[in-house]
Chain A
Amino acid sequence: MPVDPTIFSNVSSGDAVEAEDIRERMLELQRFLNGGIVPRKAPVGDFENSAFIKTQHIEKPEFYGSPHPRVESISSDTVFRKRTNNRLDRYYRHEQTGSVLQPTFSGASTTPTAWQPIEGMSSTVFAREDCTALVIGSFYVHDSGGSDGFANVDSLDIASKRQEAAFTRCMLAGRIICETALFLDKGDGNGSVLQSRTKRRIYSRGEQSYNCRRMNHSFTIPVELKKGENKLSYRTYYRLKKRDDFHVKHIFFDARNFVVDCLYR
């Protein structure tokens, strides 16, 4: 409630103001300022009836554009990346020759350096404090350029050969040619750690016979970030069985989205 008007009473000309009167007024003022300011409820109160907190009283979000687009605010930060479905924005891998061969696919899963970040799906996030971050991503992916090895088979060739070419393409449609997964480096000395529940598998189209293998993949997962710099990257591992493998050639990653939401309070 506001200051007591009986204490803060007016004086008339000629009145003497005693020291005690001054002291009472100071004590009442002290009570008021030390936690005595209360919201206005009929009939008394100190806050205005209408809302008065304006933008100037609130620390407004900061928006940052290229090259590290993000929004920083009080309760949360959002870091985002976007690549359009434009061939000029395409990220591609083609490792027909010179690839690093892993003994087994599962072996590669434990070797972070075998996984290459997908352009547009990585970010270094500076966390103001330890927090939970929600990572969301999506991408459109397909393979291209692989061959069934029967390039000269035409309609006049013997049936069994055409059948075998078709069979090869069908088998290729069941072949996993690369795998994708999220990696997180908290800067705690453990390096990039695979977040296993973000794995996605990409299949061959079988010399472009099965367009159903052109697919959009997506994921969402919460991760715990440490205060300071955290490196998040969504990576791919290209699976090439042997150096002269002509069945697979290119991997195209088109439209891509990557969002990191840090929740602080």
Chain B
Amino acid sequence: MGRIKLPEFKENEQITSDQFNEVNNAFQKFTVNGENLANEAINESMVEDESAFGSVQSAGVSFLEVNPASLRDTAHWTSSRRNWMFSGTSSRGAITVPTITKDDNVLVRASCRLKIPDVGAKTFFSGRTPVVKLMLAYRTNVDGTTGDDTGWVFLNETCQEFRMAFSTKIPSDSSLSQLTASQSGASIEGLVLESIYITLWEDRGLMGLSSASRQSDVDSTGFRKVHRDTTDPSETSESRYSLAFKDHNSLHGDFSYTTGYLFNTNTDITNVQFALWGSFYGFDPGGGNSSAGTTGKIRGCLKPVFEKFELRDFNIYGYKIQKSRT
């Protein structure tokens, strides 16, 4: 019985034992239930700190260069230590959420801007652009002796893959354009390029204009010998064929990565650590040979190389959602 109703004792009236016992019985049978509590009995002022949400753990890095190993094998892309996103232990951007019970959840979110550089993957016809993968990983009961690359469990639900459909080319003079040849009067190994031997350029493996002819302008004909396949038209020296100029290419991939994950464990743990991991696969230069030419020579560019990608404006945070506390 949750509600007590006591008999009324009036002045100058005798209190009988039954009336007295009625008071006794009311208290003996008293129990607490919904009838005892006013609507305002449980309200905001009675909610303790961190009764629902634990403190927020967050980390962020403005700029990260990620240069993991390039693996074509998508099944084992996580196996290499070099896939670890952050090389420095102090700035790897991991967060550690402390004291997790089996009833707790941890909601973790992360976002960043992913820049995949345009390295000229389509310089050669069969070249392929790389696929970059990002995903969250966690490990539990982390202490000071835990290595940076051990014990991680990948959260496949947070994996995203990014790829650019297009790519520019590393500039070269090997346009195989007869117009180019006729306008410039260039020659290779003594052959006039507008001759029938022009079709043999590729067979001969000697593609491109001579350095001297490249720099002799023929504007009077309306033709520009500074080929418009370079992203830096002001550059006429041989250095524009260098792979170092790939940053001038225009088709960089610039993506947003945003993810969230609700972590739950069925056991009590000391802490749980989250971090973002990344790698790439699938890059194919499509041709070229790093020994077939040297940078800046008339043979054009070297073999395109995909070395790294960038993460900017990275941040990650997580907070506990506590079911109950005693």
Interface of A with B (CB < 8 Å)? 2-3, 5, 8-15, 17, 25, 29, 32, 37, 40, 46-48, 52-54, 56-59, 74-76, 132, 134, 136, 138, 159-160, 163-164, 167, 170-175, 196-201, 203, 210, 212, 215-222, 263-265
Contacts and interface: CB of A to CB of B under 8 A. Distances in A.
A59 B42 contact: yes
B20 A11 contact: yes
B47 interface: yes
Interface residues of chain A: helix, strand, loop or mixed (majority): mixed
A75 B17 contact: no
A198 B113 CA distance: 9
Contacts of A167: 228-229
Nearest to A10: B21
Given A196-B313, A197-B60, 4 more contacts: A11-B21, A13-B17, A136-B258, A221-B317
19 contacts: A8-B27, A10-B17, A12-B17, A17-B20, A32-B27, A46-B30, A47-B33, A57-B42, A134-B317, A163-B228, A171-B250, A196-B62, A198-B313, A199-B312, A200-B256, A215-B256, A219-B111, A221-B60, A263-B56
A216 B113 CA distance: 12
A212 B256 contact: no
Contact of A74 (B24, B33, B47, B179): B47
A132 B113 contact: no
A14 B20 CA distance: 12
A205 B17 CA distance: 95
B272 interface: no
Contacts, number: 169
B319 interface: yes
B16 A10 contact: no
B157 interface: no
A61 to B, nearest CB: 12
Interface string B232-260: 00000000000000000111101110101
B20 A170 contact: no
Contacts of A32: 27
A17 B33 CA distance: 32
A199 B32 contact: no
A197 B228 contact: no
B24 A8 contact: yes
Contacts of A160: 179, 222-224, 228
B164 interface: yes
A101 B141 CA distance: 53
Contacts of A263: 53, 56, 319
Nearest to A218: B258
Interface in B32-63: 32-34, 37, 39-44, 47-53, 56, 58, 60, 62
A134 B313 CA distance: 16
Nearest to A55: B39
Nearest to A29: B27
B140 to A, nearest CB: 23
Given A57-B37, A163-B228, A220-B109, A48 B32 contact: yes
B111 A220 contact: yes
B314 to A, nearest CB: 7
